[in-house]
Amino acid sequence: MKNSRKDLRSSPVFLAVELRQLVQVIKHLDAGAEVEQLDLDGNSPLVRAAFLGEAAIVGELIARGAQVDVQNDIGYSALHFTAQEGHAEVAKLLLAAGAKVDSIDLHGNTPLFRAVYEDKAEMIRLFFDAGARADIANKHGVSVEDLAANVGLNLDDYRR
């Protein structure tokens, strides 16, 4: 398995992901395209599909062995992007495939931190249901609990 970086415009798999074309993603993977290729920012096709909220493409990539915890150059995993964008269906697929709910980006922020920062209630509940921790402090000493208090969220409202 090779992790080569490519200009997004020159990769048929990335182009198919960006155009949200599941059939073309399948066609290129069937023809031997790498499921783990990286674009110039270190994003895999799975990370891009998660960012776009393309659950069907994410599911196909997972089925073909895509690494669910791969992180890009700023440490964002697919779960970080689902938290940021509020793509709960994609997050559920990633978590079911074993994605780490408390993965940490370069600033020390977890997907739960992103969900709280972006005020994505469904994502906050989903991550708590998956066992996310709110007490992990980032590199600036701020935990999810601290962030929630600063923005006026009561995290108990999101725990079941």
Cα(121)–Cα(72) distance, rounded to whole angstroms?
A: 25
Give pLDDT tens digits for 8-25. Answer: 556 899 999 999 999 999
Extents of the domains making up the chain:
5-157
Decide if pLDDT at 84 tops 90: yes
Average pLDDT, the chain: 93
Decide if pLDDT at 4 tops 70: no
Cα(150)–Cα(56) distance, rounded to whole angstroms?
A: 36
Q: Tell me which DSSP letter residue 137 carries.
A: B
Cα(129)–Cα(62) distance, rounded to whole angstroms?
A: 21
What is the average per-residue pLDDT within 23-40?
92
Task: Judge: domain 5-157, CATH 3.40.50.2300.
Answer: no
Share of the chain above pLDDT 70, in %: 94
pLDDT at 77: 97
At 75, the amino acid letter reads G
Confidence of residue 149 (pLDDT cuts 50, 70, 90): very high
Give pLDDT tens digits for 96-142. Answer: 999 999 999 999 999 999 999 999 999 999 999 999 999 999 999 99
